Chain A
Amino acid sequence: ETGVTQTPRHLVMGMTNKKSLKCEQHLGHNAMYWYKQSAKKPLELMFVYSLEERVENNSVPSRFSPECPNSSHLFLHLHTLQPEDSALYLCASSQAQGRGGNTIYFGEGSWLTVV
């Protein structure tokens, strides 16, 4: 138990579907992150929210849409995805974004398969 909870753990969706990934952190942190992890590739930072404001968007396609309603919750809305989007999506949180030494804590991840 890392204090960061992601649902669903596994998701299979068609290319025309709309689905959402949910993340909740119970650590009192004020920064939250979405990462993509593909097999044998480095973690890719997708989005960063600090104090509920998006501070980073690393050229992610618009078919991925994040939402951060408060400092404890983060969503990733998915629509018209492509098979190459199949990956492990990791949510993470930290005490403050933009500070050295602030450890990032990860959720268990959501395995996404696009068919």
Chain B
Amino acid sequence: NAGVTQTPKFQVLKTGQSMTLQCAQDMNHEYMSWYRQDPGMGLRLIHYSVGAGITDQGEVPNGYNVSRSTTEDFPLRLLSAAPSQTSVYFCASSYSSTGQTQYFGPGTRLLVL
């Protein structure tokens, strides 16, 4: 099993550009989520999904969109990048509820100029 994979590992964007961060898992997990991690702060939930076709907003959803067309994939789209979106982004998955072990991808480091 590859676990949770994320691409790209690094990305530099200019303000206003859009891009999609890819996330995939091969563990047949129903629950998937996207977090951002900023210095001095805990992981903050952006969006999450409890199954294919179902998504919901987390704590900091503005400026991001998600979709969940399959169990395996959960892409995160930045609509119009802003410097405030410079961060490390982690995708995570778990069997069901958020109370269970979260398995994380290796992260995407994003710099918005």
A binds B: no
Chain A interface (Cβ < 8 Å from any Cβ of B):
none
